[in-house]
Amino acid sequence: MKRSRTSALHRHTADWSANRRIAAVTIVITLLVAVAGLVAWATGDRDQRRTNAPAAPASSAPAAKDRLGTTPSSPGTGSVAKPPRLDDPLAYGKAAAAMLWSYDARSTGRDQQLAGMHAWMSPETKYTDWTAVQSQVPDPVLWSRMRDNAQHATATVTDAKFPSAFKQALAEDPAALTEAYIYAVTVTGKQTIRWKDGGGGAEDRAVTLAVQCRPSTICGLVSMAPRVAP
């Protein structure tokens, strides 16, 4: 890795825990830290780690094998959609964002929501940052209030792309991707929230996700950035 990139990495990760600094080895991580300082999602320690998201043109990505869409969930995950079997990081990123922006507190418990979201994570636990994903789920008290208020949300995804800085870094050093095959994917869309007595609202949403898609292997979610990478 070039000296300039390493220096940028250390500048922007001075307040990170040691294991995150050590583990920031893939091109997506190095890139986003250097450009925008948004990689709190880095990866986990190389020898450990695994630990969800209701709220209130690309280049050489492989083609999707399955159609993007939601699938009926098992009883253990409530209304959370099952992860689609996709090998395209953009398509998987779109599906993951729709999942993260959707929930139904009327029929799904908080533990079910977490379990459903965890099923989307990459099985390579040395890279995943489950903490960043599960932190999107409200605490048990708030979830209970959401349920009492019959709160639920649906999502519409409008676009998914590789951030410009990711594409630039990949062009400069294509081999850097082959260590972990982790892609940065920025997804935009809209979330519509409704609750009892006809209440509701909608807002635009955007998120940058880290998605792992090894060749000939279905994709998995690695983490989500605290800021959106353009």
Q: pLDDT digits over 177-203, tens only?
A: 888 999 999 999 999 999 998 899 999
- Beta-carbon-side half-sphere exposure of residue 50 (alpha carbons within 13 Å): 12
Burial (0-12, 13-18, 19+ Cβ within 10 Å), 129: buried
Q: How much helix, strand and coil, in percent to the nearest 5, is found in the chain? A: 35, 20, 45
Q: Is the whole model's pTM more than 0.85, yes or no?
A: no
- At 224, which amino acid appears? M
Identify the CA nearest to 126 among candidates 40, 186, 212. Answer: 212
Tens of pLDDT, residue by residue over 24-39, are 334 444 444 433 333 3
205 — pLDDT class (breaks 50, 70, 90): very high
H-assigned helices in 39-121: 89-100, 110-118
The Cβ of residue 10 has, within 10 Å, a number of other Cβ atoms equal to: 13
pLDDT in tens, 101-156: 999 999 999 999 999 999 999 999 989 999 999 999 999 999 999 999 999 999 99
